[in-house]
Amino acid sequence: MTTTTLQRPQWTNRYKSNWDDAYQRIMAWWEGACLDRPVVIAPLAKPGAPDFHASKSLDWAQRDLDASYQLEASRYHLEHTLFEAEAAPAVGTGYASLLWMLGAMAGAQVRYTPDTGTAWVEPIPDLYERPLPQFDPACPPYAFAISMIHRYAHEFGYDCILGANAMVDPLTTLSMMRGPEQLCIDLVDKPETVQRWSGRLGELFLQIVAGWRAARAPYGRREETNWTGMWAPGDMDALQCDFSAMLSPAMFAQFVLPELEREAAFFDYALWHLDGPEEICHLELITGVRKIRAIQWADNPYAPSMNYIDLFKRIRKLGCSVICSVRTPQEAIELTRQVGKDGLALCISGIRDQAELERTLLALKRL
Q: How many CA atoms lie within 13 A of 243 on its CB side?
A: 24
Q: Find the largest Cα–Cα distance for the chain.
A: 62
Handedness of CA 262, 6, 320, 165 (dihedral sign): negative
Query: Regarding the domain delimited by 32-366, which CATH topology (the fold level of the hierarchy) does it fall under?
Result: TIM Barrel (3.20.20)
Between CA 147 and CA 195 the distance in angstroms is 32
**Total length of the chain:** 367
| CB neighbourhood size of 138 (10 A) | 6
Please give the model's pTM, rounded to 2 decimal places.
0.95
- Tell me the residue type at 188: V
Q: One digit per residue, pLDDT tens: the chain, 367 residues? A: 334 467 899 999 999 999 999 999 999 999 999 999 999 999 999 998 888 776 677 788 999 999 999 999 999 999 999 999 999 999 999 999 999 999 999 999 999 998 888 999 999 999 999 999 999 999 999 999 999 999 999 999 999 999 999 999 999 999 999 999 999 999 999 999 999 999 999 999 999 999 999 999 999 999 999 999 999 999 999 999 999 999 999 999 999 999 999 999 999 999 999 999 999 999 999 999 999 999 999 887 767 899 999 999 999 999 999 999 999 999 999 999 999 999 999 999 999 999 999 999 999 999 9
| CB neighbourhood size of 334 (10 A) | 15
Identify the bridge partners of residue 272 per DSSP, sorted by sequence position. Answer: 239, 295
Query: Which residues have CB under 8 Å from 180's CB, separation 6+?
Result: 243, 246
